[in-house]
Amino acid sequence: MLAGISVLGAWLAMAAPAAAQNPAVTSDPAQDKANPAAMVSFQLPSHGALLNALVYVAGGAGPHPTVVLLHGFPGNEKNLDLAQSMRRAGWDVLYFDYRGSWGSPGDFSFTHCLEDTAAAIAWVRDAANAARVRSDGKTVVLVGHSMGGFMALEAGARDPSVTAVVTISASDLGISRLQGVPGDQREAALRALGEHLAAEGMAPLAGTTPESLANEILANASAWNFAKLAEGLATRPLLVITSDDGLRATNDALMEAVRGAGNQAASTVHFATDHSYSDRRIALQEAVVEELGTIGQK
């Protein structure tokens, strides 16, 4: 009898309908032969450098809203599977490599990353560029992973024309580690931060060192404090995604500050996985695409 119940239970489990999944994550859209999905590669101008860049152009005449996808440090996980899902959902996706990273010319620094992010937003806003990729040039959402999450938050807080921000394990660059460190322990803290940056991998980066990046963080620790971003992020949709990578506390504190500043369109999602969301890629795509769908309806 128990064996029969076990077999019946297994059959019911197989027969039960699977949880609904967003078709943009699971299925290719119908092809628009007049305006097919495409990839446009180009060089993104930023402060005298021409950065490696591309746009995943959504199928259809558009005009399409646009995501600027910001990679982390040094950028081994580029989240291009996420870019494909966002394109299937009807969004153009601009991806680029910051100055001094992955073959883009120039010297890498966090300040340059901030400037390059602003340059990417400006590129999307340009009417000729928007027409080239069938973008509306107006709806711009920043989606950033790790260091890219920091760039998305900073750029979104500074630029009120940004439509919304989505972060995936946003990093505060180690600023929280430096705050409150006594003066006599500052050198040791800087060395530890530099060692952490070196361990992340510096090979894809040019014109920089772990020590120079650690000192750049220290010099800007007050200006780049997450807590100061809340006011600038209070008026637009914000999705903060976290994982079990040690960054949840700073992200939760940011979310509390943003909600305290009056943001009624801020939400969080947590996944029990690593910093790269290695075994939650489909769930990650669904969370982001669902958020974009909500933004697209407003």
The predicted-structure confidence for 126-136, as pLDDT tens digits, reads as follows 999 999 999 99
Is the pLDDT confidence value at 26 over 60? yes
Q: Let me know if residue 141 belongs to a domain.
A: yes
In a domain, 144, yes or no: yes
| pLDDT for res 8 | 46
Q: How confident is the model at residue 296 (pLDDT cuts 50, 70, 90)?
A: low
Going by pLDDT thresholds of 50, 70 and 90, the confidence category of residue 20 is: low
**pLDDT bracket for residue 273 (50, 70, 90):** very high
Q: How many domains does the chain have?
A: 1
The sign of the CA dihedral 22, 25, 27, 30 is positive
Q: Is the pLDDT of residue 230 over 90?
A: yes
pLDDT in tens, 232-267: 999 999 999 999 999 999 999 999 999 999 999 999
- Strand-pair partners of 53: 42, 96
**By residue range, what is the domain housing residue 152?**
33-176+226-296
Q: How confident is the model at residue 15 (pLDDT cuts 50, 70, 90)?
A: very low
Looking at residue 31, its pLDDT comes to: 93
Q: Average pLDDT of 208-223?
A: 94
- With contact defined as beta carbons under 8 Å apart, do 73 and 100 qualify? no
Half-sphere exposure of 3 (CA within 13 A, CB side): 0
Q: Is residue 2 part of a domain?
A: no
Distance between CA 170 and CA 298 in Å, rounded? 25
Beta carbons of 251 and 153 less than 8 angstroms apart: no
Give the mean pLDDT of 280-286.
97
CATH number of the domain enclosing 167: 3.40.50.1820
Look at residue 210 and tell me if it is in a domain. Answer: no
In a domain, 28, yes or no: no
CA dihedral over 212, 214, 219, 220, signed as positive or negative: positive
**Mean pLDDT, to the nearest integer, of 110-123?**
98
Residue 18 forms part of a structural domain = no
Look up residue 255 and give its two tokens: 């979310």
Q: Provide the token pair at 236.
A: 């637009």
CA distance 250 to 90: 32
* pTM exceeding 0.85: yes
Give residue 60's region: left, alpha or beta (phi > 0; psi -120 to 50): left
Structure tokens at 126: 């340009």
Residue 268 is assigned to a structural domain of this protein: yes
3 state DSSP class of 248: helix
CA–CA dist 166, 237 (Å, integer) = 8
pLDDT at 113: 98
